[in-house]
Amino acid sequence: MALTPIELLEQEVTPRVIPVPDPQGAHTAALSHLYAFFLALLSRNPGLASTLSTAGGNGWTQLLDHPEARQQLVQELARHHNLPTGEISRLASDALPLAIPLLIQQAGATGLGPFLMEHKASIVSRLPAWAAPILALLGLGDWVGRTSQAAVTAPSAPNRVVVQDRAAPPWLPWVGLLLLGLLTMLGWKACHHETVAPVASVPVAPPAPVQAASTVPASLLMTTGTGNEVFACRAMVGTEALRTQLMAAIAKVFSGYNQCHIEVDSSYGNNLPTDARLEHILSLVKGTPNASLQLQNGELMINAPDTAQRDLLIGRLKALQTDLSIIPAPALNVEQSVHDSIQSASTALQALDAATAKPSDVARALNLQIINFASDSANIPEINKPVLIKAAELINKVSNVQLTIQGHTDSTGDVAHNKDLSQRRAQSVKDFLVAQGVDQAKLGTEGYGSEQPIADNVTELGKFKNRRIEFVVLNTATGTVRHVDEVSSQSGVIEGVHQDGSVEHNTMGTP
């Protein structure tokens, strides 16, 4: 039997997009949902396929060119599959250029449009129930109707056949009653057992309500030094209680270390392990020089300069048999990271209403983009300018806000030169915003060079994270200082503010 389009993509594309084990199946399931959206959108505009086949990572935003719908889709997929939004965008960007040639080949002389319509029923069956509002927003209302129909009528069809289509001999009612009694007994037993299973999974389930649309996952980002010390440490959590527990676990493993920068805000989740599991994890990481961990959304990502050491560490961590998905950090892809970050920033800025936006909203959107400065240069790349132009419009309209633009570098090269370079890059961003009409009194600059790392300075990925711009927000009406922190250029953005107005961070990588 021939494969359906989605089955084809699951067989041929998924293994290439998810090269590492996916033990919980979250990445695989998210990709399958993405395939259904790909095919629904292509059925509407099959002529776009030839363009998308050569568009690379840009094809995703060309196919789903509705910013609001794209943002909703990414957020829903992230929420339902418990993955970072950045990972959803990466999956979409990586999968689409691989999928297009396969689909065109499978369609053959039929043509892509008619081919997809022939398989519409199988595609609709793979669209999740929560997709209805997004499909409607995209003008695919007929797909919404079929989705609802498939979800509602399919289960009831067998009952209609049994009850209506058979003749009723005299003995059938007694058989029916007997069967009904047996089914009732089995159903009661099944329900009795099923009520126990959710109770057993309660320790894993609490993050679900925390990860509502208004919250972001709690996270921990830590890097060891050349010895057994902490080189960099940041975390974002939802309560002071979790902050205290996290600090205690870190201090216990790292000999009283208490300098981890932990942000507390109710917009963060509280799904970080702080029990013995975390202590065991930190103890293993402590023994690997220049190792980095990122703990977020039930996923533990590990990086280290030596691949053999990294893999050994991952093996030891997996031996702990925690309920975490433990994976190596992905290889650095600067071009893809920059592209995805600009798309994310553009979408976030488009979604902001100047009348209701808060200063931190503007900073968060700005900090989503990566300004990939050329080596030893402070010239802003052309690709970033549209984002800054849009941001300038919002900065002018949002009241009581001031921004301090902070520049950071990695530790490569001369310390004094790096500090000067970071200052010039921050100043370059300020000058561009002022040229777009922003009152220069709203903008300040600071250059820190390599003084405030957030990752290792050994691996390329670590150095990439350290080379960054941070937007610090000062609300002039309240005096509250707000920074916004990006935990990883490939895993999404974390933001927040202490209730007492203390400093927070959000980073924007700028190599």
DSSP per-residue string spanning 120-186 = HHHHHTTS-GGGHHHHHHTT-HHHHHHHHHHHHHGGGHHHHHHHHSS---TTHHHHHHHHHHHHHHH
Percentage of the chain beyond pLDDT 70 is: 76
- CA–CA separation, 430 vs 126, rounded Å? 47
Looking at every residue in the chain, the average pLDDT score rounds to: 77
Q: What is the mean pLDDT of residues 332-338?
A: 86
Q: Domain 219-328 maps to which CATH number in 3.30.56.10, 1.10.3720.10, 3.90.180.10, 3.40.1520.20?
A: 3.40.1520.20
Confidence of residue 195 (pLDDT cuts 50, 70, 90): very low
Question: Cβ distance 494 to 486 under 8 Å?
Answer: yes
CATH 3.40.50.300 is right for the domain spanning 334-509: no
- CA–CA separation, 257 vs 239, rounded Å? 20
Please report, for the chain, the start and end positions of each structural domain, with discontinuous segments joined by +: 5-152, 171-200, 219-328, 334-509
DSSP per-residue string spanning 49-118 = HHHHTT-GGGHHHHHS--HHHHHHHHHHHHHHHT--HHHHHHHHHHHHHHHHHHHHHHHGGG-HHHHHHH
Q: What is the pLDDT of residues 219-259, one digit of tens each?
A: 899 999 888 899 999 898 889 999 999 999 999 999 889 88
Whether 332 has a pLDDT exceeding 80, the answer reads yes
Whether 438 has a pLDDT exceeding 50, the answer reads yes
Q: What is the pLDDT of residues 129-171, one digit of tens each?
A: 788 888 888 888 777 544 333 333 333 333 333 333 334 444 4
* Residues in CB range of 171: below 8 A, 6 or more apart: none
Choice between 70 and 423, residue whose per-residue pLDDT is larger? 423
Supply 465's token pair. 């994270």
Supply 319's token pair. 């031996």
Lowest mean pLDDT among 266-275, 280-289, 361-370: 266-275
